[in-house]
Structures are given as C-alpha cells and as structure tokens.
Amino acid sequence: MNALSYFARYGLMSDPGRYAPFYADSPADLPTLVQVVQGLIVHVFWAERYGLNLPAERQAEVQLRNMERRLERTLALDPAPMSVARPLEKKVVGNCRDFSITLASLLQSKGIPARPRCGFGAYFLPNHYEDHWVCEYWNATEEGWVLVDAQLDELQRGVLGICFDPLDVPRDQFLVGGAAWRLCRTGQADPDQFGIFDMHGIDFVKGNLIRDVTALNKLELLPWDCWGLILTETATLPPDDLSLLDRLAELTQGNVPDFEAVRQLYESDPRLRVGESIQSFVNGKMQAVTL
C-alpha cells in the first residue's frame, strides 16, 4: 500500500465506528469542513475567551482518545446533524490534537489522504514554539501535502494576530517534531523555547518527535500519553537511541517523502512501537492505560 492509499483510510483513532452515518451530511470542500470542525469542538484552554466556564467533568472530555468516543459525546451533548454548529455549551471539549484528528477523520471519510502531525507552533507566543498539532492533507491539485490548523477560528486569529492562511500553514510557522529535534540537536535552536506552560526542553521535543512518528503510523495518542523512549530522559539515552531519533527526525522533518522507511522503523523497533498498555497523565498522576 502506498502512502496516499494508507492515509486515505481510517486508523484506530480516526475511525468513527458506529457513528460513521453522522458524516453523511458533511461538506466536501476543505474550508467548510474546517468550519464544521470548529462548530463541534471548543478548545479547553480557549473556553474562557469565548465566555464559557467549563466544570471539571466537561474538561475531562479531552481524555477521549478516539473518534468513536468523541462522536458519542458530541451527539449526547447535541444530536443535531454534523453540519449544524453547536452553541458553545454544547460543543465537545478538546484541544489542538482533537481539532486535527476530527478534520483528518472527515477527510478520510471522503477518501482524501489526511494525517494529524505533532509538533510546535511559532504563532502563539513571541520567541516560543508552542506544543501543538495540525492536520496535513494531500492536495491533489498541487500534488503535495498541505498543513491545516483547524483550531484557528476568527476569534483566535484575531487574538494571535495570524497573518497567514490557516488552510495552508507555512512550514516555518509549524514545525513537526522531527524538524524541532533537528534544530535543537544541531544547536540552531534552544530546546527551552519548545513546550507549553512550565514544560519545555529537549525531553519535551523528543516526546513530540515520537508522537509525530506514531501519528504517521495512524496512532494519534493524547499529548500526555507516554511509552517507549518518551519515558527515558534524553541525557541518559545511549548513542544507539540518539542515532535512531536522529534518523527518524531526518525522515519526518517535512512531508515524509520516504514514508515506507518510517513505517518499517516503527513496526520493527520496540523502542517506538505502542503496546497494548501505555502510561498517561490523568488528573495530575501517571497511570497505566490499556488501549
């Protein structure tokens, strides 16, 4: 299977499961699809900007990993058709990863190759690369992969002063995990400029590199899920592990022209592969989670 065929099909996380019929009235064009996504989700960290005070039980919706569960909650909040934008209090709570996987799932439902990418946005704070996810889709007209930030609605674009098209995010404005790792490893960037809140540094960059590699293998886990090399401090990694990460960063720093090499590395190396159980931060504590 070539890369386009692979990404045109649902993965474990993007599969809507029994809620696939909910996609029936979704539009075909990208700009309207992005509007649909924004009409379904409210970002957990932006809720107050919209005047919405989220109780703890609603904030917990960010723990919903796969689209089937997210759609179940969406319809429990409001059973209207997908094309109907929800009022704020009836939007399912999510984060950048959830905007990205929802758009990818919708595109895949139409046979359009799409994949969430994990990395860092340069457009949230000055001189800082914020932990972030976007969606990458195959533009058949341009015959290339294009980055889309489905999270950036009109309010966010205004607050952040966005001066580019969110439907075609420049690659110097969003760095995938591999690009960030290479910049930090070669001394071209300070690892402490990468992260979110008080979490930053080379270990954070390593985590997003591995999450991006895993997402490229259609397993888009939560930003606080941990496994394999993510759980080991970078400073203690042996040379072989660092060489593996450098190789992965080289392969994935852009639009991944050699996808088969990435796929084979992931499938063959237990340091990367996600098993049946992972570690995840839930309610401020690390705990085992069965996928």
Condensed to tens digits (0 to 9), the pLDDT of residues 236-251 reads: 999 999 999 999 999 9
Residue pLDDT, tens place only, 133-160: 999 999 999 999 999 999 999 999 999 9
Residue pLDDT, tens place only, 28-76: 999 999 999 999 999 999 999 999 999 999 999 999 999 999 999 999 9
Question: Taking the domains of the chain in order of start, what are their residue ranges?
Answer: 3-290
The chain-wide mean pLDDT, for the chain, equals 97
Residue 1 reports pLDDT greater than 90: no
Q: For position 281, what pLDDT does the model report?
A: 87
Angle between helices 202-216 and 239-252 (to 10 degrees): 60
- Token pair listed for 288: 């085992």
Looking up tokens 């075909």 gives: 28
Q: For position 200, what pLDDT does the model report?
A: 98
CB atoms within 10 A of CB 251: 19
Q: Indicate the residue type of 281.
A: F
Q: For position 284, what pLDDT does the model report?
A: 81
- Token pair listed for 39: 């009409």
Q: For position 14, what pLDDT does the model report?
A: 98
Residue 11 reports pLDDT greater than 70: yes
- Region 192-202: mean pLDDT is 97
Q: By the 8 A CB rule, do 149 and 160 touch?
A: no
- Token pair listed for 244: 């593996």
Q: For position 148, what pLDDT does the model report?
A: 98
Looking up tokens 């960010």 gives: 62
Q: For position 247, what pLDDT does the model report?
A: 98
Q: For position 146, what pLDDT does the model report?
A: 98
Q: For position 118, what pLDDT does the model report?
A: 98
Range list of H helices, the chain: 3-7, 30-40, 56-59, 67-77, 96-109, 154-160, 177-185, 202-216, 239-252, 259-268
Percentage of the chain surpassing pLDDT 70?
100
The size of the chain, in residues, is 291
Residue (of 179, 184, 220, 228) closest to 202 by Cα position = 184
- Region 101-119: mean pLDDT is 98
